[in-house]
């Protein structure tokens, strides 16, 4: 089956094509086509995963574009441990999100379109994971970006959603530009785009380290854009304008993790460029703490989760930058499951109260006990409480960071902040009395089922990385690598810090009350303002786009209008003016012409004769 792994990506594409060709007239048929196709893809993924654990590895390439005498451009797919892991994560989360969407999107006028784009996205994401070649990967990379744009703007009649879609597309494009430049740069130096060949050449030392550093930094630009790392993070909070299942699938579990996956996929190259690794680790660590602080003050439940996603992606980047690729991927897998579940919980809450604003929620635990349970477990897992999945992966990352005090400190502080903002969400949403309107039109089974299913990996997916069991995932992803040793001191410290975070949230928000936190906000007003305004990064971008860029454009426009056009129009006006002045010579009087003629003849005669001398 692994040799036909392309089927996994082809199935959702087929669903998309059928829906686009005409099935879209029946919304329910479109939805079930998508679910069926992705379900089948998930099944095949599991089979392939089973085969890969048994030692199967496949790589197939096809000539796409013959290039004269040079190496042709190839496209192809590969199945190895990294791909197999991602295939299972992407297809299973996608399947559950599609089922959830059946209930969440019910009655939406764009129901069929929504599922068509979801199928297209799943195809692109699976293709991205399967690609064995940087060029093919880049094509799928852009396709997921397009789907993200289309789905953020699903409710495009809302100006804020249309603007958010545009922002997501444009900001990630800045990163993608770097990615493309990096691909070209590596091709220039290595004359191949096959990732395995690149890895061989790097291992053989055929590519100078300086070139590798530049190439990997450029590729990291793309990863930073997709994974919303500082300074290309600004689009992710706004992307929450899209439907909540879209946020769960694209902006929590899969597409934003593509940046981390890319760094893991190119890890054999990255590990030979220590400078680039340092940059990846620093940006990851900085984003982790930077995003977490903004999550502390946001009142929009989905935005808090978006900041949390940015922060956790920063964690994964930091792990990869520190050389702990398996730990980063381990966290990616765990995060995909519990963050997708947290988003689906948020969707369930939003479905109940028709608002994203937490100050208008409160006391929803009574209406939605299952959501309450799922979200609490998810939050505990995210905070890193033993024995939930988040604990094991977070601990491994912290263990990898021990050697670098600054990053370790940042990571530990992030643990505290993560626990604090997640329990702030829990208290504000579920505890205390209702603060706003509740429109309980019941929760469809299609929305409850995915929560129950996702609870299983949230609790248990840590098993694949427990050091006492020999860290199966590390052995799977990096065979022969030294498995991360369990560090009880680090584990104890991180657990205490997380509990302190939960304790702080409890002190401030227990019973769903907001008065104590308001008092704290007032006493720390400048910091609060800074955080609410997201460190003014968006202001700076707006200033650059609106002030500097538009200013230059204004100058160029005026130069064109007054200098360039002025010259062209000036020549024309000169001719018109001169003509207007000269036409007065044309009196229409025959005798005037005759006079002119006479004077002319006399003058010519004088000119001809005078040099001869008058005799």
Partner 1 sequence: MPIYPIALQHGLILGAALFSLGLAGALIKRNAIAILMAIELMLNGVNVTFVSFAQHMPGAPGQPPELTGQVFAIFVITVAAAEAAVGLAIVLASYRLRHTVQIDASSSLRG
Per residue, the 3-state secondary structure of 479-540, as one string, reads CCCCCCCCCHHHHHHHHHHHHHHHHHHHHHHHHHCCHHHHHHHHHCHHHHHHHHCHHHHHHH
Query: Which lies closer to partner 1 via its Cβ, residue 523 or residue 589?
Result: 589
Could you tell me the two tokens for 493? 């410290």
- How far is 163 from 140, CA to CA, in rounded Å? 24
Query: Which lies closer to partner 1 via its Cβ, residue 590 or residue 608?
Result: 590
- How far is 365 from 359, CA to CA, in rounded Å? 15
Query: Which lies closer to partner 1 via its Cβ, residue 552 or residue 598?
Result: 598
Choose the binding region for partner 1 from 26-34, 99-107, 406-414, 580-588 (rule: CB under 8 A).
580-588
Choose the binding region for partner 1 from 169-177, 349-357, 459-467, 592-600 (rule: CB under 8 A).
592-600
Q: Does 590 bind partner 1 (CB under 8 A)?
A: yes
Instruction: Give me the helices (H) in 74-110, please.
Output: 81-104
Cα 203 to Cα 59, 198, 274, 481: the distances in Å are 19, 8, 14, 16
Least Cα distance to 88 among 96, 100, 76 occurs for: 96
Query: Which lies closer to partner 1 via its Cβ, residue 545 or residue 601?
Result: 601
Cα 195 to Cα 136, 213, 527: the distances in Å are 11, 16, 45
Q: Which of 203, 587, 604, 609 binds partner 1 (CB under 8 A)?
A: 587
Q: Does 523 bind partner 1 (CB under 8 A)?
A: no
Choose the binding region for partner 1 from 75-83, 307-315, 437-445, 583-591 (rule: CB under 8 A).
583-591
Q: Which of 439, 441, 583, 615 binds partner 1 (CB under 8 A)?
A: 583
Q: Which of 507, 540, 594, 605 binds partner 1 (CB under 8 A)?
A: 594
Total residues binding partner 1 (CB under 8 A): 12
Query: Which lies closer to partner 1 via its Cβ, residue 489 or residue 614?
Result: 614
Q: Does 575 bind partner 1 (CB under 8 A)?
A: no
Could you tell me the two tokens for 606? 């004088």
544-568 CB burial, b ≥16 within 10 A, e <16: eeeeeeeeeeeeeeeeeeeeeeeee
Residue 387 DSSP one-character state: T
Q: Show the site string, 291-310: x = touches partner 1 by CB under 8 A, - = not.
A: --------------------
CB 609, min distance to partner 1, A: 15
Q: Exposed, middle or buried, 166 (CB in 10 Å: 0-12/13-18/19+)?
A: middle
CB 561, min distance to partner 1, A: 33
Could you tell me if residue 466 is left (phi over 0), alpha (psi between -120 and 50 degrees) or otherwise beta? beta
**If you count DSSP H runs as helices and E runs as strands, how many of each does the chain have, helices first?**
27, 2
Q: Which of 28, 496, 598, 605 binds partner 1 (CB under 8 A)?
A: 598
CB 589, min distance to partner 1, A: 6
Query: Which lies closer to partner 1 via its Cβ, residue 405 or residue 580?
Result: 580
Q: Does 559 bind partner 1 (CB under 8 A)?
A: no
Q: Does 603 bind partner 1 (CB under 8 A)?
A: no
Q: Does 441 bind partner 1 (CB under 8 A)?
A: no
Query: Which lies closer to partner 1 via its Cβ, residue 68 or residue 580?
Result: 580
Q: Does 589 bind partner 1 (CB under 8 A)?
A: yes
Residue 357 DSSP one-character state: B
Query: Which lies closer to partner 1 via its Cβ, residue 69 or residue 589?
Result: 589
Query: Which lies closer to partner 1 via its Cβ, residue 65 or residue 608?
Result: 608
CB 588, min distance to partner 1, A: 3
**Among positive and negative, which fits the CA dihedral 437, 440, 445, 451?**
positive
For residue 73, the surrounding DSSP H or E stretch is strand 73-79
Question: Which residues sit opposite 300 in a β-bridge?
Answer: 357
Distance of CA 364 to the CA centre of its chain: 31
Query: Which lies closer to partner 1 via its Cβ, residue 549 or residue 592?
Result: 592
Angle between helices 134-152 and 258-265 (to 10 degrees): 170
Cα 95 to Cα 42, 45, 68, 240, 537: the distances in Å are 7, 12, 44, 20, 36
Choose the binding region for partner 1 from 1-9, 110-118, 415-423, 589-597 (rule: CB under 8 A).
589-597
Q: Which of 439, 591, 608, 610 binds partner 1 (CB under 8 A)?
A: 591
Instruction: Give me the helices (H) in 244-368, please.
Output: 244-248, 258-265, 267-270, 274-295, 301-321, 325-353
Could you tell me the two tokens for 185? 């740069």
Query: Could you say which residues in the range 168-187 bind partner 1, by CB under 8 A?
Result: none
- How far is 400 from 407, CA to CA, in rounded Å? 10
Q: Does 586 bind partner 1 (CB under 8 A)?
A: yes
Query: Which lies closer to partner 1 via its Cβ, residue 576 or residue 598?
Result: 598
Could you tell me the two tokens for 297? 């003050």
Q: Does 588 bind partner 1 (CB under 8 A)?
A: yes
Query: Which lies closer to partner 1 via its Cβ, residue 562 or residue 595?
Result: 595
Q: Which of 25, 441, 584, 615 binds partner 1 (CB under 8 A)?
A: 584
Q: Given the rule CB under 8 A, which residues bind partner 1?
A: 583-591, 594-595, 598
């Amino acid at each position: 089956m692994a040799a036909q792994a392309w089927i996994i990506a082809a199935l959702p594409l087929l669903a998309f094509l059928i829906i686009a060709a005409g099935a879209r007239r029946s919304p329910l048929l479109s939805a079930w086509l998508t679910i069926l196709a992705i379900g089948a893809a998930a099944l095949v993924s599991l089979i392939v995963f089973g085969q890969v654990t048994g030692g199967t590895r496949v790589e197939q390439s096809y000539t796409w574009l013959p290039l004269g005498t040079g190496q042709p451009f190839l496209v192809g797919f590969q199945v190895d441990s990294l791909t197999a892991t991602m295939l299972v994560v992407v297809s299973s989360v996608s399947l559950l999100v599609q089922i959830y969407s059946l209930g969440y999107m019910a009655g939406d006028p764009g129901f069929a379109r929504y599922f068509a784009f979801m199928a297209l996205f799943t195809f692109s994401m699976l293709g991205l994971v399967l690609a064995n070649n940087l060029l093919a990967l880049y094509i799928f990379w852009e396709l997921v970006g397009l789907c993200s744009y289309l789905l953020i703007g699903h409710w495009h009649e809302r100006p804020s959603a249309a603007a958010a879609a545009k922002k997501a597309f444009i900001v990630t494009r800045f990163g993608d530009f770097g990615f493309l430049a990096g691909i070209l740069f590596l091709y220039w130096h290595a004359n191949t785009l096959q990732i395995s060949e690149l890895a061989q050449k790097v291992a053989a030392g055929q590519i100078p380290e300086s070139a590798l550093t530049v190439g990997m930094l450029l590729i990291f630009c793309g990863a930073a854009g997709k994974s919303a790392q500082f300074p290309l993070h600004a689009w992710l909070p706004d992307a929450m304008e899209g439907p909540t299942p879209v946020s769960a699938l694209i902006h929590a579990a899969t597409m934003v993790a593509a940046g981390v996956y890319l760094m893991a996929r190119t890890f054999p190259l990255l590990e030979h460029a220590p400078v680039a690794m340092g940059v990846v680790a620093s940006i990851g660590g900085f984003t982790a703490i930077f995003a977490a602080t903004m999550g502390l003050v946001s009142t929009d439940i989905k935005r808090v989760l978006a900041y949390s996603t940015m922060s956790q992606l920063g964690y994964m980047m930091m792990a990869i930058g520190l050389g702990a690729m398996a730990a980063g991927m381990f966290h990616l897998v765990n995060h995909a499951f519990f963050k997708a579940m947290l988003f689906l919980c948020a969707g369930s809450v939003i479905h109940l109260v028709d608002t994203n604003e937490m100050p208008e929620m409160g006391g929803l635990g009574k209406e939605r006990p299952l959501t309450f349970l799922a979200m609490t477990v998810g939050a505990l897992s995210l905070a890193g409480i033993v024995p939930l999945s988040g604990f094991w992966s977070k601990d491994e990352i912290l263990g990898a960071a021990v050697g670098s005090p600054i990053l370790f400190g940042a990571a530990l502080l992030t643990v505290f902040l993560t626990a604090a903002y997640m329990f702030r969400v829990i208290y504000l949403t579920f505890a205390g009395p209702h603060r706003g309107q509740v429109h309980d039109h019941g929760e469809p089974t299609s929305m409850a089922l995915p929560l129950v299913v996702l609870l299983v990996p949230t609790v248990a997916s840590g098993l694949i990385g427990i050091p006492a069991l020999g860290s199966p995932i590390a052995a799977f992803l990096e065979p022969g690598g030294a498995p991360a040793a369990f560090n009880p001191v680090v584990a104890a410290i991180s657990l205490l810090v997380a509990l302190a975070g939960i304790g702080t949230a409890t002190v401030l928000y227990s019973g769903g009350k907001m008065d104590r936190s308001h008092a704290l906000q007032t006493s720390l007003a400048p910091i609060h303002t800074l955080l609410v305004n997201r460190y003014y990064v968006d202001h700076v971008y707006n200033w650059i786009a609106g002030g500097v860029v538009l200013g230059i454009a204004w100058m160029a426009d005026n130069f064109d209008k007054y200098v360039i056009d002025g010259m062209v129009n000036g020549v024309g006006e000169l001719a018109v003016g001169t003509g207007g002045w000269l036409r007065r010579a044309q009196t229409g009087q025959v005798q005037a012409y005759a006079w002119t003629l006479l004077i002319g003849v006399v003058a010519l005669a004088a000119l001809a004769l005078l040099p001869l001398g008058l005799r």
